[in-house]
Amino acid sequence: MESMELASFQIISTVGGARSKITEALQCARQRNFTEAYQKIDEANEFLKEGHKNHVDLIQKEADGQEIPFSMLFMHAEDQFMSVYLLRDIAHEMIAMWKEIK
């Protein structure tokens, strides 16, 4: 497997794990289990950190002059990456709102 394909799949895999944890966090919050909800967000952040490392590695390679080929797979990985970051931020706000509603 080419390195770009591998990097793309690594990003997709890690953000998929983060998305699952965020979904679990929202489910916990709906049950008013806020401590566990925030723990799930923390777990999602660990997945996102791993995906971010792969993302930054590619940016550094391109900044060093290495050509980074475009592919639909990589575009999908980047799309998933940014979508999950947005989902995490929205979920965090939703949990905070549910917490305020008694």
CA dihedral 75, 13, 84, 64 (to 10 degrees): -50
| pLDDT (0 to 100) of residue 37 | 97
| pLDDT (0 to 100) of residue 4 | 85
| pLDDT (0 to 100) of residue 69 | 84
Q: Which active-site residues does the annotation give?
A: 76
Return the number of other C-beta atoms located less than 10 Å from residue 57's C-beta: 13
| pLDDT (0 to 100) of residue 102 | 67
The reported pTM is 0.89
pLDDT tens for the 102 residues of the chain, in order:
578 899 899 999 999 999 999 999 999 999 999 999 999 999 999 999 998 998 888 889 889 999 888 889 999 999 999 999 999 999 999 999 999 986
Distance, CA of 75 to CA of 7 (rounded, Å): 12
Euclidean distance between the first and the last CA atom of the chain, given in angstroms as a whole number: 52
Amino acid at 96: A
If you ran DSSP here, which 8-state letter would residue 71 be given?
-
